[in-house]
Amino acid sequence: MRIRYQITLWITLAGVFASLILSLVIFFELIEESHELLDQELEANARSLAKNFEFLAEGPSTQISAVKYFTPYWVRITDGKYRVLYESETVEKVDLPLKETTVIYSVPTNIPLNRLFSTLEEDEDELATFRVFIYSFSFSGQEYQLQIARPIENRTHEIIELSGIIGGGLAISALILILISYHVSGRILHPIKKINFIASEFSERTLDKRVPLGEQKDEIYELSSSLNSMFDRLQFSFLRQKEFIANASHELKTPITLLRLSLAELLQEEETSPSQIEKLEKLNETVLRIERLVKSLLSLSSLELSDTLSPEEFVLNELTDSLIEEFHPLVTAQNIQFISDIDDQITVKADREQMKRVFINLFENAIKYNQDDGEIRLQMWSDKQNGTVIIDLFNTGHGVPIEYYERVFEQFYRVEKSRSTALGGVGLGLTITKKIIELHNGTISLNGKLGSWVQFHITLPILMC
C-alpha cells in the first residue's frame, strides 16, 4: 500500500475513533440528561399539585378539589397512614409500587402505552416504563405523600433515532476526514515525490543535479541534504574513475605504439626464424587487440567526461553510402549480401564523426556475427510527423537470446565470449554506440530471432543536437 494511502487510513481511523468516543460520551450524557429533565419535571409538577390541593374533610371521606392536570401523569396521594386520598384514572389500569427507601425510581411494566393513555400514538409493542417520584409534604399538621409518575415515552425509538444520527454523523465525518487527510498527506509527501523524481533521473548524464532544499529545516530538509551529500560523493568518485581510465588509456598509447613498431622491425629482419616469426605474429595480434581496447576506452572516457557534440547539417544517406563502400571488400569476402533501403534525402543536424562511429560499430558487428552467404539489410526513413529518423539494421546470424537484449549494451559484456575474442571484439563497441545515440537524445534497442536474425532499432531526432 502506498504511503499516502496509509497516512490517509491512519488519520481517518484515529479521527473516527476519537469521534466515536466523543459521540458515545454525548450519547450517554443525553440519555442521563433526559432522565434528569424528566425527574425535574416530575418534581415541579408534584410541588405544584401539593400547593393547589385543598383538604376540606376529615378521615377517609376526605374530598380533594385540585387544579386540572394533564395526562399522561399517574398520581396517587396518601396520608401518613397510607390511606389513599386520591388516585388518577391511570392508577386503575396499572399499579406502581411505593418504595420507601428511594425518592425517585423507574418501574417497568408489561402493559402497552396505548392501553394506558388513548391520547398517545404508540406502537402496540411499546411497553410502558414509568419514572416515579415520591414527594412528601405537610398540611394542617399532618404528613402526606404524593406519588407522581410518567411513562418514559419512545425511549427505544429515541435511542435508535439518536444512534442513527450519531452513525450518520460518524459516516460524514469519516468521509470528510478521508478527503482532508488525503489532501494533507499529499502535501506532506509532495517534497518526497520531488526527491524521488530527481533520484530516479540521477545517472551518469545528470551527475550535477541536486535536490532543492526547503525553507524549513525539518526532516525533509535533512533527507535532501543527506542525498545531496551522497550525490556529491558519487559524482566525485565517478569523475575520478573516468579520469583514471582516460589517463591510463592515454599513457598506454605510447608504449603500445613503440611495442608494435618493435614487433614490426623484428618481423622484417632476415635473421628471424620461422618459429620466431609465428610467435611474433601471435604477439602482434595480441598487441593489436590491446591497442583496439585502449582506443575504445579512450573514446568511451571522452564521451563520458566531455558529453559535448559538434553538430552540423549533413545528409545521412551520403554518410551511410560511403561507409557501405568501405565495407564492401569485407562483405564480398564473406559472400554477404548488403541491401540498402533508404529514403532519397535525409538531412540531419548532428555530430558527423560520432554518427560515423555509430554506423561503423553496427556494420562491423553485423559482419562479424553474420554467416557466410548471409544478408545485411539497412532501412532508414524519416518520420516527419514526429520529427525523427528511424534506422533498422538487420543481419542474419546466430541471434541473441531475449534475456541478453539489454545486457549487450553493457561494458565488456559479450554473449559468446570465446567467439567474440576470436573475432577480435573488446566488448565496448555497442556501449559506445548507445552512448553516442543517447547524447543525440535518441534510443537504441535490440530485437531478433534466436538462430535466425538480429535487428538494431534506432530512433533519432532529425535535429539531433
* pLDDT per residue as tens digits for the range 271-326: 777 888 888 888 888 887 777 777 777 776 766 666 667 889 999 989 999 999 99
Question: What local confidence, expressed as pLDDT, does residue 64 receive?
Answer: 47
**pTM as predicted:** 0.49
Q: Which domains does the chain have, with CATH numbers?
A: 3-163 (3.30.450.140), 219-303 (1.10.287.130), 309-461 (3.30.565.10)
Question: What local confidence, expressed as pLDDT, does residue 154 receive?
Answer: 56
Considering only 96-105, 108-117, 151-160, which range has the smallest mean pLDDT?
151-160
More confident residue, 393 or 262: 393
pLDDT 10s digits, 344-368: 788 888 999 889 989 999 998 899 8
Question: What local confidence, expressed as pLDDT, does residue 62 receive?
Answer: 42
Count other Cβ atoms within 10 Å, centred on residue 41: 15
Question: What local confidence, expressed as pLDDT, does residue 66 receive?
Answer: 44
pLDDT 10s digits, 224-250: 888 888 888 887 777 777 776 666 666
Query: What percentage of the chain reaches a pLDDT higher than 70?
Result: 83
Q: What is the mean pLDDT of the chain?
A: 79
Query: What percentage of the chain reaches a pLDDT higher than 90?
Result: 11
Question: Is 166's pLDDT higher than 90?
Answer: no
More confident residue, 34 or 371: 371
Average of per-residue pLDDT across 451-456: 87
pLDDT 10s digits, 72-107: 688 888 888 888 888 888 888 888 888 877 888 888
